[in-house]
Structure 1
Amino acid sequence: MPTVTVVVLTMGDRPTELAAAIESARRQSVDVEIVLVINGGDPDRSLADIVVDPGENLGIPEGRNCGAAAGTGTLICFLDDDGALRGDVFGPAVEAFAASNQLGVIGLRVVDEHGKTARRHLPGLRKDAERSAPATAFAGGACLLRRSAFDEVKGLCGPFRYGLEETDLSWRMISDGWDVQYRSDLQIYHPRTSPARHPEFFFHTARNRVWLAHRLLPLPIGLVYVFNWTAITLAKNFLAPASILSHLRGTIAGFRSRPGPRNPISWTAVMELTRRGRPPLV
């Protein structure tokens, strides 16, 4: 049985990067199996040990759920098809999981072509790329998860499709007693990009924040969380009316259709998120 199931989603439009990503996983010091999930296009299937082709674009979270289910490794790595692991990441990660039965997720440090880590890839409000620390979220395509923990909380929320699905997963894991850690010494290369490059970025993010609050936050905290992020978005984009309109459309859509179940985290979990540096208000 392989130690790590490496799940790579692809649209088939990055053949060179895809090959490099998979090669970086093959070079790890532990046994791996590569699961390629085809969300579009016609990638080189021979690169993978297992191919999942649903015949449609399932979105990121549901695609990763399907990829994870197809594998057998005790650990799962979600790896972007334009990323590449830097050195031996899996060896130290396996040791960390073995040392702590409560460790559910390790978030890797994402390093760009300039050797920098974008703020959006750093957990918590205290943005220090060099410091390993307890976390409340992680980069979705740069992480390792304990399969038993992932299965216990029933994986990622498929309807999110893109945006905040990792936060939803992290909060559920922490609420169930699992530990989420950011490891600055375990790194993955990924070219610097802006999430706003996706046409529906503001819509999906706003909608999914409402869904996140509905699914997991006690009512008073959830309302403050949505209000605060709307205010932050308006302040940051006051010169971009199209972005503001997209955000407002997403917020309305989030209130109109809310995927369940609603299972608010405990106040103890709220305090734990706060202790970890990210109170669920912002």
Structure 2
Amino acid sequence: MPLPRIGVVIVTMGTRPRELDALLASVGKQGVPAARVVLVGNATPLTDVTTDATKIPLDENPGCPGGRNVGLELLRASDDVDVVVELDDDGLLIADDVFYEPELVLRHPRTSPARHAAHYRFTARNRVWLTRRRLPVLLIPVHLGVWVFLSMARMRSLSGARAWWGGFAEGARTPCGPRKPMKWRTVWRMTRLGRPPIL
């Protein structure tokens, strides 16, 4: 029985070049090589990365899942892989038989996404965008005001607060996509169910 053809998607924001180089090297050292490796650059041009992988530099940062999906679409369209391995740029394959080790169990250490300043920035930006797109105009300042108060009350990091306010400003001044606000009937129903859209 032939081995499955492995496709690898690696997503990077270009902020960890040493770790990315080590990961690419560890992928290349696998006993059975990957049929195709795709490197997706979330808002990074990938010009400083030397690799035989297919590079896909994105102008925007769609987040890790969005970047992964771009790579998966490319692999799907190529139709030359059976199994896909998705890796973050700070991953490392510590053995040369990782792709084909049936006993292997992968675990990510218990860590909070709040350890990265980008977490605060994207959370704030995305919340502002979502609020601008989905809430009636009269509720936008109420919702954002309550959310600012709660977020700042919970904030434990000065660098996180700076990143959060940067994301908030970005969400307020950049396009949020097409507006499709919920109807007031929906607002009332959510409120009756104990989930008023101001929290």
TM-score tier after normalising by the smaller chain length: 0.5 to 0.7
Aligned to 1:212: 130
What one-letter code is carried by the residue in structure 1 that aligns with 2:23? E
Choose which of 108, 113, 116 in structure 2 pairs with 1:111.
Answer: 108
Q: Is 1:13 the equivalent of 2:15?
A: no
Task: Quote the offset at 1:53 in angstroms.
Answer: 4.3
Cα deviation code 1:13-63 (max 9, x no counterpart): 32113333x369987xxx9743123533543423x4xx0244x76435464
Q: Who is 2:89 aligned against?
A: 81
Q: Please give the TM-score of this superposition, normalised by the length of structure 2.
A: 0.53
Separation of aligned partners in 1, 2:56 and 2:144? 36
Instruction: Tell me which amino acid in the other structure corresponds to 1:36.
Output: L
The question of whether the paired residues in 1 share the 8 Å contact of 2:130 and 2:176 is answered with no
SS of the residue corresponding to residue 150 of structure 2 reads helix
Instruction: Give the letter aligned to residue 52 of structure 1.
Output: K
Task: State the shift of 1:253 in Å.
Answer: 3.3
TM-score (norm 1): 0.41
Deviation of 1:78 after TM superposition, in Å, equals 4.0
Sort the Cα spacing of 1:230 and 1:34 in 2 relative to 1 into closer, same or farther, 3 A. Answer: same
CA contact (8 A) 2:23 2:93 kept: no
Identify if the C-alpha distance between structure 1 residues 262 and 66 changes in structure 2 by more than 3 Å, giving closer, same or farther: same
Which structure: greater helix fraction? 2
Greater C-alpha radius of gyration: 2
- 1:132 is aligned to none
Task: Please identify, of 32-41 and 218-227, the stretch whose mean Cα deviation from structure 2 is larger.
Answer: 218-227
- Contact 1:7-1:35 at 8 Å conserved across structures: yes
More relative contact order, 1 or 2 (CA 8 Å, 6+ apart): 2
RMSD: 4.9
Cα shift at 1:234: 0.9
Structure 1 unaligned residues grouped into runs of 5+: 92-108, 121-192, 272-278
Deviation, structure 1 residue 80: 0.3
Aligned 8 A contact 2:125 2:168 in 1: yes
**Do the aligned partners of residues 252 and 9 (structure 1) sit closer, same or farther apart at CA in structure 2, a change above 3 Å counting?**
closer
CA–CA distance in structure 1, aligned partners of residues 126 and 176 of structure 2:
10
Conserved in 2, the CA contact under 8 Å of 1:37 and 1:53?
yes
> May I ask how many residue pairs the two structures share in their alignment?
166
